[in-house]
A and B are shown apart, each in its own frame.
Chain A
Amino acid sequence: MLTETGHGGMEARRKGNKSVLRVSVSPWFVGVAGTAIVVALALTAAAQQPARRIVSLVPAVTEILFAFGAGPQVVAVSSYDDFPPEVKSLPRVGALLDPDVERILALRPDLVISYGSQTDLEGQLERARIAVFSYRHAGLDGMFQTIRALGPATGHQAGSADLARSVQGQLDAVRARVQGRPRPRTLLVFERDPTTLRGLYASGGRGFLHEMLEIAGGANLFADVQREAVQPSQETLLARAPEVIIEVRATGLLPAAGAASDERKAWAALGSIPAVRNGRIYVLHGDHLVVPGPRVGQGTEAFARALHPEAFR
């Protein structure tokens, strides 16, 4: 039901970890026997032709496209995109809840990246015979699958393979660096009320934040909860006694300077928690921490530096 998220904000919420390139035709066409074959052939041809005009409604995928060199083919992005800087000059066509179909169609895209839950939009695009890449939000494996699937679809097979290798390499490097070190019980908070501990959401035992934390050499406090997000009570926090607390904040939600120490103060209410007693509360800022895109290596390293500073000396 719940998912981790970021300033990019709108990551799809579907379960399952297959990212598939779906190209299909409307039932109306299927009904017309004669044209069906022609259309199927045309679409096969289109599928082999790399996409030249891409609209991405998913900030994480926009990052992926730019990272492996498909940036120049991107003609529009979602209202939440702000990385890389090049996207700032591109037209915005809505997001998860409010895709602007007219503007998308007017841009004449040949590939639209949409969230798997945007079934209405996907139906409309398919009726307009525009290829749709249906994004499923599912952990780091899902991200690597997305990278590998989008490469061929955009004519960047080699680039996408390089990107996948390099991100994997970064993750492996972090993993190697913290190898053999004790893994502190870590609470990973991605949302709560400013100045108090109410409305607190933490990473459960699923999703990319959990995986990043585990790679970075932390033992997720809620690894046993098979959900992406948990809302623990004060009692549960006290009982589970995390040794380290990491709070992640997307850049757009950056509070005023000096507020980080205020944010740590809120934890004083739960004084028996080892992380609080030992001052091991880290408030980390940046979209690379909360977007499941090519920067997960950096985000994971930031976690590892907080968890195991001695490994980076």
Chain B
Amino acid sequence: METQQGVETGNFKAYLLAFIGSIILTLAAYFITVNHLFTTWLLNSAIALLAFAQAWIQLVIFLNLGRETKPRWNFLVFFFTIMVTVILVFGSLWIMYHLNYNLMATS
């Protein structure tokens, strides 16, 4: 549907489903953490996965990511942002981990 804004708008049904899905994912992450269902490593991975799933739902349904017509400038900017984010976060952790490791007392 081509609206006045030229951006595809959502509809009530999609919004409602996204909302219910978000609530379920939030509660699922909460319960696996509180009940400590898995080992720590697996638990952290599961929490991260649930968070990414929910973020993806929010971005696609509410922020219309990837639903624009070509050329997909919004998606391109988003892709670049994710790239910078990954380099920044994992780069920082990597550098600081090795810094800690190399500065450990060697006596």
Whether both chains belong to one complex is answered with no
Chain B residues in the interface with A (C-beta under 8 A) = none
